[in-house]
């Protein structure tokens, strides 16, 4: 088993904080749960599968982290309401909401039914809004367990797909564009009115996740790897460290930002000409233009 990198942060930066994470039982959501817990937070996780939640809660508790799991689907408003209330009933307050639940599959646009498109928007975009909406009364300054000047924090997990365009991901790309928009609008409205900071993280290719396995078939994987600026995929740890930074006091003036954690992957372009070739080419062009300056014939001026 691979050794986990040590955290560069002090172990108490989230001491006393209560965090609710959707999709917190697996993948990136679980890693954020574990790292937030290791840095002092109490953790509530929400997900659709009871067995996944039970395993996650046991794993967190075995690390000495106060943890509880609530079954629920972010597409159902009554589930969102029940889980937010149950978290506060269990831990006494809510400081941080992390929206990490997401649905995904690869499909060509022409083969995706409108209901398939809607399903992913319902989970990622509407689900994120619903959770934020239900959590507001607890996160706002002066809410239960909070002082009159101390609002909570929301973190929305997004993606980089919609920065440009992505093959076979029209539904997720649209859904995550909406999530980034929620991040900015809530940061404006709820930052102003309630002292709640709202930020996002856009992870790129992160290894050992359901998303990576589902979205990167081996054939695609090899091609993508060739073009990554840092020559490797990220780890769930990388996303969790960015989340810690944004959630802690280090991020206290960051509001409405979606932080890209992808090693520069979304910027990648195939290199169509080598560095040596470009030197040659560039000098030749310069020399030619010095020898014979290009311009309009004087008769035409
Ligand atoms: N290709 C094309 N369409 C698909 C599909 C696929 N692989 N998977 C689901 N759909 C369509 C269905 O056909 C259906 O549309 P239709 O009624 O017009 O036929 C619609 O999506 C809903 O499907 P359903 O199976 O009823 O949805 P669900 O509520 O069980 O949820 C997902 C399905 C999308 C959420 C499923 O992929 C899932 O559970 N994923 C787990 C979460 C995950 O992948 N996380 C990783 C995040 S990166």
At 110, give phi and psi (nearest 5°): -70, -20
CA 111 to chain centre: 27
Residue 283, pLDDT above cutoff 90:
no
Q: How high is the pLDDT of residue 291?
A: 75
How do beta strands 197-203 and 153-157 pair? parallel
Better pLDDT: 107 or 298: 107
In this structure, of 65-79, 116-130, 193-207, 285-299, the range with the lowest mean pLDDT score is: 285-299
Which domains are delineated in the chain?
A: 18-272 (3.40.50.720)
Pocket test for ligand 1, best of 25, 110, 116, 171 (most atoms within 8 A of CB): 116
Strands 96-99, 67-71: pairing is: unpaired
The dihedrals phi and psi of 152, each to the nearest 5 degrees, come to -90, -160
Report the range of poorest mean pLDDT among 99-113, 114-128, 200-214: 200-214
Smallest CA-to-CA distance from 30 within 46, 48, 14 is with 46
Q: Identify the band that residue 165 occupies on the pLDDT scale cut at 50, 70 and 90.
A: very high
Q: Does the pLDDT of residue 295 top 60, yes or no?
A: no
Average pLDDT over residues 219-228: 74
pLDDT of 102 above 70: yes
Which of ligand 1's atoms lies nearest the C-alpha of 113?
18
Q: Whose CA is nearest to atom 39 of ligand 1?
A: 103
Q: Do the beta carbons of residue 122 and residue 45 sit within 8 Å? A: no
Closest CA to 94 of 56, 61, 143, 52: 143
User: Looking at residues 275-300, what average pLDDT do you find?
Assistant: 73
- Number of the ligand 1 atom closest to the C-alpha atom of 117: 21
What gap in Å lies between CA 223 and CA 215, rounded to an integer? Answer: 13
| Number of Cβ within a 10 Å radius of residue 232 | 12
Which band of pLDDT confidence, cut at 50, 70 and 90, is reported for residue 270?
confident
pLDDT band at 299 (very low <50, low <70, confident <90, very high): very low
Q: Is the pTM of this model over 0.75?
A: yes
Give the model's pLDDT for residue 285: 80
- Considering only CA atoms, which residue is closest to atom 7 of ligand 1? 105
Instruction: Measure 16 CA to ligand 1 centroid, in angstroms.
Output: 37
| Contact residues of ligand 1, CB 6 A cut-off | 102-105, 107, 112-113, 115-116, 119, 123, 210-211, 214
If you measure from the C-alpha of residue 214 to the centroid of ligand 1, how many angstroms do you get, rounded to a whole number? 12
Asked if residues 43 and 24 have their Cβ atoms less than 8 Å apart, the reply is yes
219 CA distance to ligand 1 centroid (A)?
22
């Amino acid at each position: 088993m691979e050794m986990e990198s040590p955290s560069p942060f002090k172990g108490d930066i989230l001491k006393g904080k209560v965090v609710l994470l959707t999709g917190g039982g697996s993948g990136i959501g679980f890693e954020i749960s574990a790292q937030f817990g290791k840095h002092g937070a109490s953790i509530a996780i929400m997900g659709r599968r009871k067995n996944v939640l039970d395993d996650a809660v046991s794993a967190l508790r075995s690390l000495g982290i106060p943890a509880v799991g609530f079954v629920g689907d972010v597409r159902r408003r009554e589930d969102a309401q029940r889980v937010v209330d149950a978290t506060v009933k269990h831990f006494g307050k809510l400081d941080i909401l992390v929206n990490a639940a997401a649905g995904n599959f690869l499909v060509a646009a022409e083969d995706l039914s409108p209901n398939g498109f809607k399903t992913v928007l319902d989970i990622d975009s509407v689900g994120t809004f619903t959770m934020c909406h239900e959590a507001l009364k607890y996160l706002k300054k002066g809410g239960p367990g909070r002082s009159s000047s101390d609002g909570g924090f929301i973190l929305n997990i997004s993606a980089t797909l919609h920065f440009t365009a992505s093959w076979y991901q029209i539904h997720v790309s649209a859904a995550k564009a909406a999530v980034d928009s929620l991040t900015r609008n809530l940061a404006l409205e709820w930052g102003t009115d309630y002292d709640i900071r709202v930020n996002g993280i856009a992870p790129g290719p992160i290894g050992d996740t359901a998303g990576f396995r589902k979205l990167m078939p081996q054939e695609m994987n090899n091609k993508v790897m060739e073009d990554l600026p840092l020559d490797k995929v990220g780890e769930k740890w990388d996303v969790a460290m960015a989340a810690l930074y944004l959630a802690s006091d280090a991020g206290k003036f960051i509001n409405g930002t979606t932080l890209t954690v992808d090693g520069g992957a979304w910027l990648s372009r195939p290199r169509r000409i080598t560095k040596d070739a470009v030197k040659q080419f560039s000098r030749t062009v310069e020399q030619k233009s010095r020898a014979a300056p290009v311009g309009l014939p004087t008769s035409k001026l």
